Amino acid sequence: MNTKEYVEKVYNEVLKRNSGEDEFHQAVKEVLHSLIPVFEKHPEYVENGILERIVEPERQFIFRIPWVDDNGQVRVNRGFRVQFNNAIGPYKGGLRFHPTVNLSIIKFLGFEQILKNSLTGLPIGGGKGGSDFDPKDKSDREIMRFCQNFMTELYKYIGQDMDVPAGDIGVGGREIGYLFGQYKKLKSSYEAGVLTGKGLNYGGSLVRTEATGYGLVYFVDEMLKGKGISLQGKKVVVSGSGNVAIYAIEKLQELGAKVVACSDSNGYIYDENGINLDTVKRIKEVERKRIKEYVKYHKEAKYYEGCRSIWTIPCDIALPCATQNEINDEDAKGLIKNGVIAVGEGANMPSTLGAVDAFLKNGVLFAPAKAANAGGVAVSALEMSQNSIRYSWSFEEVDEKLKNIMKNIYDNSVKCAKEYGYEDNYVIGANIAGFLKVADAMMMQGIV
C-alpha cells in the first residue's frame, strides 16, 4: 500500500465511524491529503498509527442542559465538550453557543484546534465545546441561568491542568464571567487558569479581546510583505461584525487599509468612504443590535439583506470572519474575477475546499484559518501563563508577544511548505508545521 492509499484508507475509516458529520469530514480531508509528503518522508509515523490516533478524539461528552426562562418555562439544550488531543499540553479550545452547534461542528473545530494550538509554539492541546443554546434576544438573567446549568455539568471534565475552555461565537466576556462564577462555587476554590477570556479585574489578559482580529491582520501583513506588497491603501471586505471582525477592522485601519464592508447574519453594509468603526462598536458591543442600524448614522452607506453577496464587492483583500463555509466555489470565482489578491480566514474553515482550491490555482495569497486566526488562542495561552505567575503584562507587552507569535507561524508555514515541495502554499505549510510537533510528541509518549 502506497502513502496515498494509506491516507485514503484512514479517511474512509473516518467517514465510516462518523457518518453524517460533514463539517468534521471536510476538516479531516483537507488536513490528511496535505500530509501525504510527510508520511513518505517519515514512515515511522505510519508504523506508530499517528494518523489513526490523531483523527479520533481522546474523549467526547454530550450532556443535557435544562434551564428556566424569564416566563417560567423549562427549556432544554444540548451541551458538548470534545477533548481531542493533549500530546503537547492541556486541551484548549473555545465554547460556542449557537443554534447550529452539533457534534460534527464541535469535532471539526476541535480537530482544527490541535494544529492551530501547535502552531502557536505554546504548550496547549486541542479541544472544543459548546451548546445549541442561542444567546440572541435572551435577557442577562436567562443567559446567567443557562451558563450556570451548563457549567454544573461541564466542570466535571475541565481544570487548569486538564482542559481550559475559552469563548467563541456567542460566548464573550459576560458568558465567561457567569461560567467562571459557577465553576468557582462548585469547586470551592479560585482556579483562575480554568477559563480564559476572563475580565481584567479577575485574571483576564489585556489584548485578549483584540487578539484574533489583530493576529489575523498581522499574519496577512506578513504574507503580503513576503511578496513585497503593502497593506497601505488596500480596499478590504470583512465579513462578520463580531469580535474577530471588529478588531481586524481596527488593525487594518491602523495600518492604512480601507475597509468598505462588514456584515452580520441578516445582511451587510457597504460604505465607500470606509467603515466607521466607532459606529459598528456602538451597535454591536453596546446596543447589541443588527448591523443594518449603521445606515441610520451614515446616510451615504447602503444596507443589503442577505450576507453572502458581500463577496461580490470588488476588493484587494477579503477577510471572512463570520462562520464556516461562508465562501463557496462561486464566491471564490467572483472574488478572483474582481481582482482579489489575498484572502485571510478569520473564522474557522470559512472557505469550502473548492473555494480554497480556486484561490490557490489562481495565485491568490491565501492565509488558512488554523494559521491566520491563531491569535486568539495564543493570547488565551498567554493569559494562562499570567494566571500561573500571578502577574499581568501590559497591553504593549502582550501585543508584541502576539505579533511575534503570528510572525513565527507565518515563517514556519513558509518553511514547511518549501521543504516539502509546496512553496507559497500556506495551507499545506501550516498543516505540516502544526502536525510535526504533535506527531513527534505522540511518538515520544508511546501508544496511549
pLDDT per residue as tens digits for the range 208-237: 999 999 999 999 999 999 999 999 999 999
Q: Choose among 104, 78, 82, 79: nearest CA to 93.
A: 82
CATH topology agreement for domains 59-190 and 211-372: yes
pLDDT band at 307 (very low <50, low <70, confident <90, very high): confident
* C-alpha cell belonging to residue 316: 484587494
Spatial separation of the C-alpha atoms in residues 325 and 359, rounded to whole Å: 14
Per-residue confidence band for 3, with pLDDT thresholds at 50, 70 and 90: very high
pLDDT, residue 144, reads 98
- Euclidean distance between CA atoms 336 and 314, whole angstroms: 9
pLDDT of residue 227: 97
CA 166-81-188 angle, to 5 degrees, is 65
Confidence band, pLDDT 50/70/90 cuts, at residue 186:
very high
Contact status, residue 304 vs residue 267, Cβ threshold 8 Å: yes
128: annotated active-site residue: yes
Active-site hit among 116, 128, 234, 258: 128
User: Coil, strand or helix: which one is 170?
Assistant: coil
CA angle at residue 234 from 228 to 235, to 5 degrees? 150
What's the DSSP call for residue 161? T
Q: What Å distances lie between residue 369 and 113, 210, 216, 345, CA to CA?
A: 10, 16, 9, 5
Which letter does DSSP use for residue 210 in this model?
T
Q: How much is the pLDDT for 135?
A: 95
Architecture of domain 59-190: 3-Layer(aba) Sandwich (3.40)
Measure the CA–CA gap between 24 and 80, rounded to whole angstroms.
15
pLDDT digits (tens, 9 = 90+) for 265-294: 999 999 999 999 999 999 999 998 999 999
Band of residue 183 on the pLDDT scale cut at 50, 70, 90? very high
Query: Nearest Cα to 372, choosing from 346, 348, 340, 398?
Result: 346
CA distances from 185 to 141, 145, 189, 191 (A): 18, 14, 7, 11
List the grid coordinates of 93.
Answer: 479550545
Q: How far apart are CA 164 and CA 126, in angstroms?
A: 10
The strand pairing partners of 351, in sequence order, are 327
The whole-angstrom separation of Cα 399 and Cα 394 is 9
* Whole-number percent of the chain with pLDDT over 90: 98
Closest CA to 180 of 200, 158, 201, 151: 151
Three-class secondary structure of residue 159 per DSSP: strand
What distance separates the 2 farthest-apart alpha carbons in the chain?
64
Q: What was the pLDDT predicted at 1?
A: 82
Q: What is the arithmetic mean of pLDDT over 248-256?
A: 98
The three cell numbers locating residue 234: 488596500
Q: According to the model, what pLDDT value does residue 205 have?
A: 98
38-57 confidence digits (pLDDT tens): 999 999 999 999 999 999 99
> Per-residue pLDDT tens for 108-131?
999 999 999 999 999 999 999 999
CA angle 380, 382, 383 (to 5 degrees): 60
Question: pLDDT averaged over the chain?
Answer: 97
Listing from the earlier edge strand, what are the strands of the sheet with 342-344? 302-305, 267-270, 258-263, 235-238, 317-319, 342-344, 365-367
Q: What are the extents of the domains in the chain?
A: 3-50, 59-190, 211-372
Q: 211-372 in CATH: which number?
A: 3.40.50.720
Counting residues of the chain whose pLDDT is more than 70, the rounded percentage is 100
Nearest CA to 308 out of 263, 364, 246 is that of: 263
- The DSSP letter of residue 47 is H
Nearest alpha-carbon partner for 119 in 297, 368, 360:
368
Report the pLDDT value the prediction gives residue 201, as an integer from 0 to 100. Answer: 96
pTM of the model: 0.94
329-378 pLDDT tens trace: 999 999 999 999 999 999 999 999 999 999 999 999 999 999 999 999 99
DSSP code at position 194: G
Checking if the pLDDT of 147 tops 90, the result is yes
Phi, psi values for residue 270, rounded to 5°: -125, 125
Is the pLDDT at 102 greater than 90, yes or no?
Answer: yes
Which strand (E) or helix (H) includes residue 385?
helix 375-389
